[in-house]
Amino acid sequence: MTNEEKILARLDELTEEVRQAKEAIRPYVELKQEMEPLINDMVISAIDKLSGLDRRFEAEDVVDMIGQLMISSKSISEALKSLNRFMEFKQDFEPYSKQMFGELVEQLQTTLHGFEPEQLHELFKQFVVNLGNMADGLKILGSIMEMRKDAAMLSKPAFNEAVERLECLKQRGVFEAFEQVLAVTERVGAKIQEVNFSEAKPVRGVFGMMSALRRPEVQEGLGVLIELSTVMTALKKDPASIGCSTG
């Protein structure tokens, strides 16, 4: 075989391989042609969606959201751990719950079927044995109810007497006088805080007393003391002699 024939044979082989390759890739080419419109639509739709993100989300909001997520990571981790522990408890408790439910169903079925004669006899026996305890319990309950009635009867007069005493004190002006004493004590206490006792000078002799009486504060203080001395005679009176008017 000459070189020309070898070349032609090789070209025929290459042509056949190219034809087979074209046949092999033809389905992919057809698929590409069919998918191209769909892909174009998807790309256009994705571009439209992404183009609106800059208007809907702020970069600062996204960063803040990520920061809050990182800060709350510990709480999220604890919540997940609690959920895992709850699921473990559920799995551990499930066999017991099934057993309890089964026993409850059996008890209900036994109740629906009625009592056995032996069980009914035992029930009556226990009832008769506990009649004494039940009677004692009823007696104790009756005593408690009677004590409650007695306490109510006693507490009502005591409450009424306390109200009458308070009303009497109000009529006698005790409450108003007490408020006045509190007000005076408050004013005196505020004034005492302004006095520096370490700087107080002693008053010696009559001339020292006369010199101190020149101060207006001392004069007003002596006037107040004289007025207070007029009400000190109330200490000699019997409080019981002052009655209250009944309405």
pLDDT band at 14 (very low <50, low <70, confident <90, very high): confident
On whether both 34 and 77 belong to a single domain, the answer is no
On whether both 78 and 105 belong to a single domain, the answer is yes
* Assigned domain for 205 exists: no
* Assigned domain for 10 exists: yes
* Assigned domain for 210 exists: no
What tokens does 45 get?
């739709």
* Assigned domain for 29 exists: yes
Using a cut of 0.85, tell me whether the model's pTM lies above it: no
Q: Which residue has the higher pLDDT, 178 or 237?
A: 178
* Assigned domain for 126 exists: no
Tally the domains of the chain. Answer: 2
On whether both 45 and 77 belong to a single domain, the answer is no
On whether both 50 and 75 belong to a single domain, the answer is no
- Is 167 buried (19+), middle (13-18) or exposed (0-12) by CB count in 10 A? middle
For 153-206, the pLDDT digits (tens) are 767 777 778 778 888 877 877 778 888 888 888 887 887 788 787 887 888 888
* Assigned domain for 218 exists: no
On whether both 11 and 50 belong to a single domain, the answer is yes
Note the Cα 229 to chain centre separation in Å.
Answer: 58
Cα three-residue angle 96-97-98, rounded to 5 degrees: 90
On whether both 16 and 46 belong to a single domain, the answer is yes
The answer to whether the beta carbons of residues 223 and 153 sit under 8 Å apart is: no
Q: Which helix (H) or strand (E) holds 150?
A: helix 131-171
What domain range is 76 assigned to?
A: 70-113
Would you tell me how many other CB atoms lie within 10 Å of the CB of residue 95?
9
* Assigned domain for 161 exists: no
On whether both 36 and 7 belong to a single domain, the answer is yes
For 52-101, the pLDDT digits (tens) are 555 555 667 767 777 777 777 778 778 788 888 777 777 777 777 777 77
